[in-house]
Structure 1
Amino acid sequence: MAFVGHLVGTRIEHAAAASAGEAAALYMEAFLEPYVQELATDNELSPASVHGIDRLHNSTSLSKHIVSVKIWSADARILYSNDKSQLNQTFPHEEVARAMRGEIVTRLTPLGDDENHFEEDFDQPLYETYAPLRQFDTDRVLAVGEFYEQKHEIETLQQEVWAVISAATLAMLLLLFYIVRRGDLIIDRQQVALRKQMQEQEQLHRQNASLQQKITAANHEFARIGELTQRRLGADLHDGPAQLLTLILLRLDELSEWRPQPQPAAELDGDDALETIRGAAKDALRQVRNLSSGLALPELNDLSLTDELILAAHRHQQRTQSQVLLDIADLPEQMPPLHKIALYRFVEESLNNAFRHADGQGQRVSARCSNGLLTVEVCDSGPGFDPDTPINGTRGRSPLGLAGMRYRIESLGGSFKVDSSPGKGTRVSVQFEV
């Protein structure tokens, strides 16, 4: 608003200056030009002309506003002035030169000029107007007239403008105060409501955290029970069907030793049946032992995580006669037993998938721990697959195997990720916070 007031005041001042210049030019044309016509043939004003200008200035009502009059020659010499001490003095003046070219020049009186000592005694701002004085019936400029006009009306108008702007500013400030105050009250009410909602959400968060802890504990217990169940099944298979199959094989061996030699030709078919039974029993025993060894893990409590991963890779190499590259950095020494079992199962299942679906190409196990995050990856350079495409047939990754690994890892609070695309191999990774 101060800028607007200054701008309006400046515009008023400029408009008033232009108006004063036009009025002064008309005054000079009407009243002063008759006294300067003699300058067409002479370089000085006659005493009669000087006396006439003095009488004109003192007798008219313009003397209330016009405090001083000067007439300049073309060479910037003062031919007439209310201050008689300045007569015939020459001052370098750009405004006089411009007026001689036919321009009307209006400005505020500059303080300190040598030619303005008389006007400075009035101690008030004055408009200074320069206008050309022409010869009758021609455009020839004979001299330059200069008026000094008071500025009282402009100051009054500017004061009125500032009063209006001040009143408008005060009204705007009161309106803004009302708006801001009302907004402040609304914000206070909203803050109270938000604090109440935050308290309710904090209570819900505590309840959710408690439920999450219970779910995590239940998942851990489920994983523990599942692992115990697998161990019990492995033990039952080893101690039950495996022992019975072993007994069958022993009895078959006794029967083959008891049979007298040589055997009649008629009994050759019986020997073939005996060998078939023995082969089937051996295959069944081998499968039962494989199942029991897969369900019953080796003792992992005494192994470090690094040794456990090495063991999983070594057992896979022994079973499949394939090569597994290991890239294992510094890993934490202590891990919860369930986490160690989950990682062992993850590496075991992932390597089995790599051997089954990628023919063991580019099998690699990498593990590292950085910034409190344990990452274990199993990669291969096989044909790969699209994880987002439903899996059909025997060559794709087993959906149950991947789902089982994901559930086992996520039930312990870890994250499971499969990164694969056709022709670019497969990378399966898990992460745990340690």
Structure 2
Amino acid sequence: MCTETKDQPNGETKVSESDATLVESEADENASQGAAYSEVGRFRLRQLSRSTQFVISAALILGLTMTFVGNLVTQSIEDATVQAAAETGARYMENFLEPFVQELGTSRVIPEETIQTIDKLLSETSLSTHIVSVKIWLPDGTIVYSTDKSVIQKKFKITEISNALAGNITTALDEDIGVNPVDDVEDAFEKRLNVPLYEIFAPLREAGTGKILAVGEFYETAEALQREITKVHKKVWLIVGTATISMLLLLFFIVRRSDLIIRKQEEILRARMREQAMLLSNNAFLQNRVDAANREFSRINELTLRRIGADLHDGPAQLLSLILLRLEELDDSENAANKEVFEMVRHAGQDALDEVREISLGLALPEINDLTLQEALVLLAARHEDRTDTQVDMELEALPDDVPVSHKICIYRFAQEALNNAYAHAGGKGQKLSAAYRDGLLEVQVEDSGDGISAEKPGVQARGRTHLGLVGMRYRVESLGGVFTIDSAPHAGTRAKAQFRI
């Protein structure tokens, strides 16, 4: 077939600035709407179950893959079927036409008698039922014979002639002949037949030498071939469709089963998470109750200590004061022995009174509600220095002013007990009270440079006040969520530390 190419000049198109702006705005609006629709589609897809999402994805991927495979297989079968039919027809036509082209070895025309003979054979034999047109081409593209007599001795340039001259059989299924006619004059006759055809180009050789003298082209009806190809297509697509659906169903059941297992495990995990959340809530509630109980216990303990201090001050201290006053009234004896007994009793009573007053002062907590933590620690150190006639080094950094009262009481008692231990067991040597607040952590420390707590003989002190004092300090600190540590070694002093997260 000849092909004609037409060139069309490019026309200039002018677009006004307003039109361009309108086009851009519409494009932006369409783009935004497309993005919104895409987002809605993704959201709806995420709402589906895993197995449904898998089936959709697998159907797309597997469908595209199997469509490609099906097209490839059907096209291959179609090409093979057409080629086989063409080769069979070509062999038949070679035997039919080659006797009539032997004269082309010495001439460029076929005699009229030969033309009439070919026409008669094509019209009166069984070839007329399936061969609708025949052409014989010279190597230069000239038609020397044609069922359509109007193209004889006309010259056309088509690629199929070159392929046939190279010894190849070329075929093509022209399903659109007569449906979409083009301006190819050489096959206008065949297009007017308005039936599906396939054309075959076959070399025609010289007898004895095998030299290619011409190219035979003939058009054969393709109805039977098309029916066969359609039948093959249906079989191929039935197999491909069945295989695709079978694979999708198999994969769906596998993924569905896995999805059900995952959902079941998720439900179990959610139930356990709910249980854990409930336990955590209960633990938090219980912890709050414990903290409240500890604070209440600390408050009651302080009230108890105050009451004991007040009772000591108002009871035994007053009685001892009265005894000392009456002893002074009786201080008129001239007997040396009685005088000595009197002085001993008076000194013992005075010592007892001083000790009771000291105990009462230690038990009575100063009113620290209106004091900051820093002021309370300074007051504690001053009282300890007055009571023990020792010196306490202070190293207090900037401390928060809004420390809860329960924590202030705990820190005051911790530092008081630690300083008492430092005086009792280290003689007040190297006493130091320090406090710091960094990154929400409040740290209070009391240290001395005494002999330390012996690790080899803890029993003597463990049975006395030291053991009870350490236990009390630890309990006070830990009851408010703090951390208590004691660091001591023989001849290396003792360091007691309390830390709170405020």
Tell me the TM-score range normalised by the shorter chain: 0.5 to 0.7
Look up the match of 1:372: none
1:36 to 101, 113, 116: 101
CA–CA distance in structure 1, aligned partners of residues 199 and 396 of structure 2: 105
Deviations 1:249-298 (A, max 9, x none): 99999999x89xxxxxxx9xx99xx79x96x99789667645543xx773
Q: Contact 2:411–2:444 (CA<8 Å) still a contact in 1?
A: no
Instruction: Give the corresponding residue for 1:147.
Output: 218
Tell me how far 1:14 sits from its aligned partner: 1.9
Residue aligning to 1:12 = 77
Deviation at 1:75, TM superposition (A): 1.8
How far off its partner does 1:231 sit? 1.9
Distance 2:71 2:435 in 1: 82
Shift of 1:83: 0.9
| Residue aligned with 2:141, SS | coil
**1:323 maps to 2:396:** yes
Contact 2:306 2:363 in 1 (8 A): no
Q: Distance in 1 between matches of 2:122 and 2:409?
A: 118
- Aligned match of 1:238 in 286, 309, 314? 309
- What's the offset of the Cα at 1:87? 1.1
CA contact (8 A) 1:351 1:363 kept: no
Give the corresponding residue for 2:192: 121
- On the 8 A contact 2:295/2:406 being kept in 1, the answer is no
- Maintained 8 Å contact 1:20/1:127: no
Mapped contact 1:354–1:380 kept (Cα < 8 A): no
- Tell me which residue corresponds to 1:408: 480
Matched, 1:26 2:82: no
Residue-pair matches, total:
349
Read off the aligned partner of 2:397 and give its amino acid letter. V
Q: Look up the SS of the partner of 1:321 in the other structure.
A: strand
Distance 1:234 1:16, change over 3 A: same
- Scaled by the length of structure 2, the TM-score of the pair is 0.51
Displacement, 1:59?
4.4
Q: Distance in 2 between matches of 1:242 and 1:139?
A: 145
Shift of 1:18: 1.8
Displacement, 1:212?
Answer: 7.1
Q: 1:209 to 1:113 in 2, by over 3 A?
A: same
Q: Aligned partners of 1:239 and 1:377: how far apart in 2?
A: 36
Residues 168 and 203, structure 2, Cα contact 8 Å, conserved in 1:
yes
Asked if 2 retains the 8 angstrom alpha-carbon contact of 1:377 and 1:427, the reply is no
Given that residues 12 and 154 in structure 1 are in contact (C-alpha distance below 8 angstroms), is that contact kept between their aligned partners in structure 2?
no
Structure 2: distance between partners of 1:399 and 1:61 = 123
* Aligned 8 A contact 2:436 2:442 in 1: yes
Q: How much has 1:343 moved relative to structure 2?
A: 5.2
- Shift in Å at residue 77 of structure 1? 1.9
Distance in 2 between the 1:10 and 1:245 partners? Answer: 119
Q: Is the 8 A contact 2:407 2:480 kept in 1?
A: no
In 1, distance between residues paired with 2:85 and 2:214?
20
Whole-angstrom distance in 2 between the partners of 1:427 and 1:47: 128
Q: How does 1:367-406 map to 2 (within 5 A)?
A: 376-378=440-442
- Partner Cα separation in structure 2 for residue 127 and residue 39 of structure 1: 26
Q: Offset at 1:168?
A: 8.8
Any conservation in 2 of the 1:377–1:428 contact (CA below 8 Å)? yes
Taking the TM superposition and a 5 Å limit, the aligned residue runs for 1:215-364 are: 215=286, 218-219=289-290, 222-241=293-312, 289-290=361-362, 292-293=364-365, 298-299=368-369, 311-316=372-377, 319=381, 321-326=394-399, 340-342=404-406, 344=408, 363-364=436-437
CA distance in 2, matches of 1:36, 1:349: 130
TM-score by length of 1: 0.57
What is the distance in 2 between the residues matched to 1:102 and 1:350? 113
CA contact under 8 A between 1:66 and 1:147: conserved in structure 2? yes
CA RMSD of superposed structures (Å) = 5.8
Unaligned runs of 5+ in 2: 1-62, 333-339, 382-392, 423-431, 446-454, 459-469, 485-496
Q: Give, in whole Å, the separation in 2 of the partners of 1:43 and 1:84.
A: 16
Deviation at 1:341, TM superposition (A): 3.8
Matched residue type, 1:312? L
CA deviation vs aligned residue, 1:347-376 (integer Å, no higher than 9, x gap): 7799999999xx87882255xxxxxxxxx4
Deviation of 1:97 after TM superposition, in Å, equals 2.0
Paired with 2:101 and 2:71, the residues of 1 have a C-alpha distance of 41
Identity %: 26
Deviation at 1:313, TM superposition (A): 3.6
Shift of 1:99: 2.2
Q: What stretches of structure 1 of length at least 5 have no aligned partner?
A: 260-266, 332-338, 367-375, 382-391, 410-415, 419-425
1:163 shift after superposition: 5.3
